[in-house]
Amino acid sequence: MTAFRFSRVAMLRRSRAMVSSTRLWKSRLVFWTGALAIGAISVGFAKVADFAQRTFAAFSQTEGFHYAPLLITPLGFVLCAYAAWRYFPGTQGSGIPQAIAARHLRDVPDRGGMLSLRIAVGKILLTVAGLFCGASIGREGPTVQVGASIMMLSGRFGGIAEGRGLILAGSAAGIAAAFNTPLAGIVFAIEEMSRSYKARTNGIVLSTVIIAGVASLAFLGNYTYFGKSHAMLDQASDWVLVLGCGLGGGVMGAVFSRSVIAITRRVRRWRSVTPRSRMLLVALTAGIVTAVIGVGYDGETWGTGYEQARSAIEGEAPPATYFLVKLISTLVATVSGIPGGLFAPSLSVGAGLGSTVALALGSDVGLAAILGMAAYFAGVTQAPMTAIVIIIEMTGGHDIVVPVMAAAMLGYGTSRVISPEPLYAALSRPFIADALRQLRAREAALRAAEKAAEAAMEQKNTETPPPAQG
């Protein structure tokens, strides 16, 4: 009984200290400000990115400018890749691998330069620039890196030492604000970013997602990313559709993931001899492929693919080969070296794949599009719980939770067999290796400088004659 009383008194004292501590309140205010900033910046990023995409699509469809992307898109790829390499190193790709790498680099100063205000600004500017030239990229992955950068900056101002928790929280808030899917943000943080559930970061992640979500709702209101779906699994034969979308999404997701990993590694080795010229050549090639496909498919493959995915969910199927050409466009953009994510394009590929399966089976296109998105997204990221939650939240398809779960798990299992290495984990390793290599080089240079100083001091002492004896 006495021990219980002492324990209760100690808890009351700790609670009173937490409420009255000026230092803790300062940290909280800075932390909450960072979370609000993530929500507000994500909304602004979304609006500017959508404007860029619409502008390029309208321009490419203007009379007399239909073939202009054959010049503009490759040039835009080259300029974006050069700017990322020269002025904003660390912004290349989606940004999720950098955030994962930064979580592992606890002892590296500034997390290897992968999370900073400069990175956040460059990421937004160059992603928007990529959409202005028709790249098949999304803004959701970049928002993860932007969110993590903002939280790290807030942590420095507020004196919050737990960097890994801040990265996790900023990443989750970025996904939640980008898609308006708070539950998906939390699941993404646990499943993809940390691969485990850390009790000490629960409060940070949850509060950041909530605050960023409130900021997003304040600007955009309560909306569903792809609108409200009324798709239903009406009969037992529809489970054949679940099977087809699940297996097909898993196979294509694994092909995409494995191709990105293999091409990225080969390009990395190939351009190590002359980094700048070969980097620009890769970007130019990717831009040419993107332009040829976009012009050939009358602009259907430009940008995020949001309109095509939404149309498929509403029952209007894109061309049967849309998913394949959109996959290729997303693949070349991902390995090109320009900043940009693959979440939204992957959802568009999945919707196209599902609608193609539905046409082959004579099934409901809207239902198949949702199942295809879940399966393909789970196959690419190998994060099935994130796929399930994000698809349900984005479509409002609560009546088809079980079929979506089945398709996502089939996609995940199939992908794991074909491509055992998760995409983002594999892409994060070069960033970790580069940061550690730079750290060792700095340490070696510092040791060499210290030895040189010691040698100079010894030489000076040797050359200096001893003082005369009186």
**Predicted TM-score of the model (pTM):** 0.86
pLDDT at position 200 is: 45
3-state DSSP helix/strand/coil percent for the chain, to nearest 5?
Answer: 75, 0, 20
Question: Residue 73: which pLDDT band, with cuts at 50, 70 and 90?
Answer: very high
Mean pLDDT (whole number) for 290-319: 92
Contact 177, 188 (CB under 8 A): no
CATH code for 238-425? 1.10.3080.10
Residue type for 330, please?
T
Token match 């070296």: residue? 337
Residues 28-220: name the CATH superfamily. Answer: Clc chloride channel (1.10.3080.10)
Contact 108, 439 (CB under 8 A): yes
pLDDT at position 223 is: 57
Lowest mean pLDDT among 25-29, 121-125, 194-198: 194-198
d(CA 122, CA 116): 10
d(CA 204, CA 216): 18
Read off the pLDDT of residues 197-229 as tens digits, 9 standing for 90 and up.
444 445 566 666 666 666 666 665 655 666 667
Read off the pLDDT of residues 236-285 as tens digits, 9 standing for 90 and up.
778 899 999 999 999 999 999 999 999 999 998 888 777 888 899 999 99
d(CA 287, CA 277): 15
Residues of the chain with CATH 1.10.3080.10: 28-220, 238-425
pLDDT at position 197 is: 44
Contact 113, 54 (CB under 8 A): no
d(CA 407, CA 251): 12
Contact 70, 79 (CB under 8 A): no
d(CA 209, CA 413): 29
